[in-house]
Amino acid sequence: MQAVMETYKRLNIAPTSGQGSWLFDAAGNRYLDFIGGIATNSLGHAHPALVKAIQEQAEKLIHCSNLYEIPIQAEVAKLLTEATDFDKVFFCNSGTESVEAAIKLARKYAHTNHGPEKHEILTFSKSFHGRTYGGLSATAQPAMQEGFGPMLPGIVHAPYCDLEAAGQMSGSQTAAILVEPIQGEGGVNVPPEGFLQGLRDLCDEHGALLIFDEVQTGVGRTGHLYAYQGIGIVPDVLTSAKGLGGGFPVGAMLTKEEYAALGPGNHGSTFGGNPLAMAAVRAVLGVVNDPEFLEEVRFKGQVLKNALEVLAERVPGSEVRSEGLLIGFELGPEVAPKVFEHCLREGLLVNMIGGTTIRLAPPLTVTRTEVRAALDTFRGGIEAAVNAISSKASETNQVAVV
By CB under 6 A, name the binding residues for ligand PLP: 94-96, 99, 128-130, 180, 184-185, 213, 215-216, 241-242
Pairing of strands 326-330, 348-349: unpaired
**Shortest distance (Å) from residue 259 CB to ligand PLP:** 20
Measure the CA–CA gap between 291 and 283, rounded to whole angstroms: 16
**Shortest distance (Å) from residue 208 CB to ligand PLP:** 20
**Shortest distance (Å) from residue 217 CB to ligand PLP:** 7
Q: Catalytic residues, which ones?
A: 128, 213, 242
What is the helix (H) or strand (E) element at residue 121, kind and residue range? strand 120-124
Q: In 125-236, which ranges are E strands?
A: 155-158, 174-179, 209-213
245 and 72 Cβ atoms separated by less than 8 Å: no
Q: Using CB atoms, what's the residue nearest to ligand PLP?
A: 95
Measure the CA–CA gap between 277 and 288, rounded to whole angstroms: 16
Burial class, 140, CB count within 10 angstroms (exposed 0-12 / middle 13-18 / buried 19+): buried
Nearer to ligand PLP, 185 or 323 (CB): 185
**Shortest distance (Å) from residue 273 CB to ligand PLP:** 16
Give SS3 for 122.
strand
Measure the CA–CA gap between 358 and 231, rounded to whole angstroms: 24
Nearer to ligand PLP, 95 or 223 (CB): 95
**Shortest distance (Å) from residue 110 CB to ligand PLP:** 22
Pairing of strands 237-240, 251-255: antiparallel
Nearer to ligand PLP, 253 or 373 (CB): 253
257 and 77 Cβ atoms separated by less than 8 Å: no
**Shortest distance (Å) from residue 96 CB to ligand PLP:** 3
Nearer to ligand PLP, 241 or 279 (CB): 241
Nearer to ligand PLP, 18 or 251 (CB): 251
Measure the CA–CA gap between 84 and 285, rounded to whole angstroms: 12
Single-letter residue type at 378:
F
The distance between the two most distant Cα atoms of the chain, rounded to a whole number of Å, is: 82
Nearer to ligand PLP, 20 or 130 (CB): 130
